[in-house]
Structure 1
């Protein structure tokens, strides 16, 4: 197992002055782009797969239960509590991601991972045996806590589980799991629901957690302990939990004004959170986030805007069914095209090592995402022929490619922006917090934009896609701000 490399200097967000600023990285074996077979070779394969699996189980379970719930309600009742399934899971997930660095300090890398898989396993089994909807929701809370811990740990433990030169590859593999989960969750849930075995899906997830947990002591380092853990930032946790709850609830409200009010309240709570964190010693985000001239806040904002754009996936199947008459299964796979583009693009994007190429990818990613959503919005029509809808697929893939080309490099920039090793782990764990919260906010905002179309599904599609294109385009400016002279990591 590799030694802890957390104190090695990371890539700068602004290039150093150099008479030859674009050397050929392949000319020096030490700086040549690492190959995937190096990450997945015998030395690092176990650690890489466990890190990726931790992120994957959380991503799959975001949408897994949504596909199973109609079948579950028919058996155990609780239709009035239906909407709380997603809300409680995501709120618990956000809370857990904010406690990652403290869990690492107390239990170490392997111990924290065992805790995450154990909590997720218990939650999955509780869902599988639940006789009533309240018990199922309790299981979903436990699943969310375990999934949030595992998602944050993936980005934090990579610092000691893999050598520095494999961080970008490792981040690409883990962040690709969000895309894979967005595809696999609904598909897996739909498959089990089709055969009336909704409990079996949760048993399967428990089995996956058990297998991964058994592998943890053999493949992950134990040396992540950081002495006495910092006190829990109670006020920050309360504010973020309230914001996440407000925006999650607003996503299921029927009235557009009520949804908008819920989102506005959530934004005010987030602003209060940022103001409190800036002056408090008990923080969720590392202190570097709030320092004058630090690029870390711009990196997080760019990551958030990229994850925000994924929310359109929830409504693309609806547009396919209503505008083109696609059957539910075909429409569901249509919605997964964005995640597929995201996951596949990261395979190539993570090969980039030249500083100017990495900077361009971080800026180009949000631009490509926004352009893809813009073109998709312009392609909406009613009624739409089958071949016209088929043209949506490559456009969705291009939009997803925008996320894939920038996400792994932004993740590494966040991981290396803090000089202190403890702050570095905290900065890495916050990647999962930002991603999860952005997914929650994106889904709620998407619901508001769709409702603006009224009874016209065509207008709803245009409101959503064109509105998200404008919002995601802001990521190009935040990415540019991270590279602006005077902004530096840490």
Structure 2
């Protein structure tokens, strides 16, 4: 094709017999970590009832998100310093031990503590999985393999709540955690046998201060986004957290400049590819997780379908996401296509949000399926291509840290998008209800209670909720448009000599030895 060039990197490493087995272990790990952030959602009411903790039940989800986000930069840097395989096995083992502790918890404090530990392990599993792809797959094929992980996220977002409901109703909510054990053991066995072992070590001191600052920043952001609406956006607690987080963010740069082995190398903050890709990932994840979380709620409340059927209705979205992930990964083997894929994906995200912004109580199944398909295709084209662009722009020794930066930004984007969407949905719904005779057992904070309203009022309330949901999607459009504009100015590049997988001839030409499993 005129104007493009095929990367001159060898394909042999990606076709080695062990690559398929290694990727299967990594995919299972991503499935475990991503499922664990969704499978618990439908089990929360039963957990609150059994453990008598309704007032603090939100911490069951927030604890996992907070811990997994906070430790992401540290896991990424430690993997660069000491080898990713052993840390990957450690984080997976920690995740499984914590899963058992969650399943055996006898009260809410025990469960929340176990969820923190589980988040620490899960955060390591995710970022090290993404970084390990850089060790076992050539740069030309990273996009294709990274696409698998994005598809897993989409499937987990739909399957997770369904499994959580089945376990809660048919067995026990404890199985939402215990199911991780058999899958995780298989993952550990495969990973221990086939993942490449590190051949390079560093004697540099760990940047404890940088790690503490980044963890504190992540904690502040997650707490603000998770509890801003509950505590009040103008409350002293939230305002104080925002101020403290901003101050810590300002302190990070001078601290990391002085560190011998910084958790967040300052050079990454000056890399246009890393910074723009992280911001694009932030915007894309804010939209994606808002769609994945609130569309099932819309279907169940407005159209009256069960949790299982809402998953069936979401199949066009999942299909679009899975197919576009796969195709985007294959297309991104040419470095010049990365920007085109990201611009196209973000533009389709905008189109999907605009279509979802027209949702009403009377929107039909055919129209919904079309809207979901467009949104799914857009969501699938962005996340892993962003990660590939960043990995291919940094030296091999910084792949872990770079992967952690993007993963961190995407996690914060997801928390931010869901929090802002939830706040906008609640306020707009309450505004649209003004003047309606809604009394009795109806609670505006629980849209499922619309069913108790008299039929004369119920339809108007359902229309109000549907329109409020659509408005929430429209409010995300400016953020995604900004991400689209950034994609136009993204200049991904690839240094094949520095960025080849450690087992490839290019890496060996740089003086690195081929890894052994």
With structure 1 as the length reference, what TM-score do the two structures score? Answer: 0.84
Verify the 8 A CA contact 2:73 2:214 in the aligned structure 1: no
For structure 1, which segment, 424-433 or 328-337, has the greater mean C-alpha deviation from structure 2 after superposition? 328-337
Radius of gyration: which is bigger? 2
Please state whether the residue corresponding to 2:3 is helix, strand or coil. coil
Report the aligned-residue RMSD. Answer: 2.9
Partner of residue 342, structure 2: 362
Verify the 8 A CA contact 1:64 1:185 in the aligned structure 2: yes
Please state whether the residue corresponding to 1:444 is helix, strand or coil. helix
Q: Deviations over 1:423-461 (max 9, x none)?
A: 232102323222221111111111111023113313311
Verify the 8 A CA contact 1:60 1:181 in the aligned structure 2: yes
Aligned partners of 1:226, 1:102: CA distance in 2, in Å? 12
Verify the 8 A CA contact 2:154 2:318 in the aligned structure 1: yes
Aligned partners of 1:259, 1:461: CA distance in 2, in Å? 26
Of the candidates 460, 467, 478, which is equivalent to residue 468 of structure 2? Answer: 460
Partner of residue 143, structure 1: 118
Aligned partners of 1:269, 1:125: CA distance in 2, in Å? 35
Verify the 8 A CA contact 1:243 1:265 in the aligned structure 2: no
Q: How far did residue 113 of structure 1 move?
A: 1.2
Please state whether the residue corresponding to 1:227 is helix, strand or coil. coil
* Counterparts in 2 of 1:418 and 1:230: CA distance versus 1, 3 Å: farther
Partner of residue 213, structure 1: 188
Partner of residue 22, structure 1: 4
Partner of residue 106, structure 2: 131
- The yes-or-no answer on 1:418 pairing with 2:398 is no
Q: Deviations over 1:174-196 (max 9, x none)?
A: 22222122122112111111204
For structure 1, which segment, 203-212 or 347-356, has the greater mean C-alpha deviation from structure 2 after superposition? 347-356
Of the candidates 277, 298, 302, which is equivalent to residue 299 of structure 1? Answer: 277
Q: How far did residue 348 of structure 1 move?
A: 1.2
Of the candidates 283, 286, 298, which is equivalent to residue 319 of structure 1? Answer: 298
* Counterparts in 2 of 1:20 and 1:390: CA distance versus 1, 3 Å: closer
Verify the 8 A CA contact 1:101 1:426 in the aligned structure 2: yes
- The yes-or-no answer on 1:276 pairing with 2:255 is no
Verify the 8 A CA contact 2:349 2:375 in the aligned structure 1: yes
- The yes-or-no answer on 1:240 pairing with 2:218 is yes
Aligned partners of 1:402, 1:274: CA distance in 2, in Å? 31
Please state whether the residue corresponding to 2:201 is helix, strand or coil. coil
Aligned partners of 1:118, 1:441: CA distance in 2, in Å? 29
Partner of residue 458, structure 2: none
Aligned partners of 1:415, 1:235: CA distance in 2, in Å? 24
* Counterparts in 2 of 1:214 and 1:188: CA distance versus 1, 3 Å: same
* Counterparts in 2 of 1:45 and 1:126: CA distance versus 1, 3 Å: same
Verify the 8 A CA contact 1:109 1:224 in the aligned structure 2: no
Q: How far did residue 344 of structure 1 move?
A: 2.4
Aligned partners of 1:76, 1:40: CA distance in 2, in Å? 50
* Structure 2: tracts of 5 or more residues without a match: 434-463, 500-517
Q: How many residues align?
A: 453
Q: Deviations over 1:150-203 (max 9, x none)?
A: 000011122212233321122111222221221221121111112042222322
Verify the 8 A CA contact 1:315 1:335 in the aligned structure 2: no
Partner of residue 327, structure 2: 348
Of the candidates 365, 386, 395, which is equivalent to residue 371 of structure 2? Answer: 395
* Counterparts in 2 of 1:208 and 1:156: CA distance versus 1, 3 Å: same
* Counterparts in 2 of 1:269 and 1:312: CA distance versus 1, 3 Å: farther
Aligned partners of 2:371, 2:280: CA distance in 1, in Å? 21
Q: How far did residue 481 of structure 1 move?
A: 2.4
Q: Deviations over 1:125-159 (max 9, x none)?
A: 00111111111111211111111000000111222
Partner of residue 12, structure 1: none
Partner of residue 103, structure 1: 78
- The yes-or-no answer on 1:84 pairing with 2:59 is yes
Partner of residue 13, structure 1: none
Partner of residue 428, structure 1: 403
Verify the 8 A CA contact 1:104 1:226 in the aligned structure 2: no
Verify the 8 A CA contact 1:56 1:181 in the aligned structure 2: yes
Aligned partners of 1:484, 1:156: CA distance in 2, in Å? 18
Q: How far did residue 390 of structure 1 move?
A: 4.0
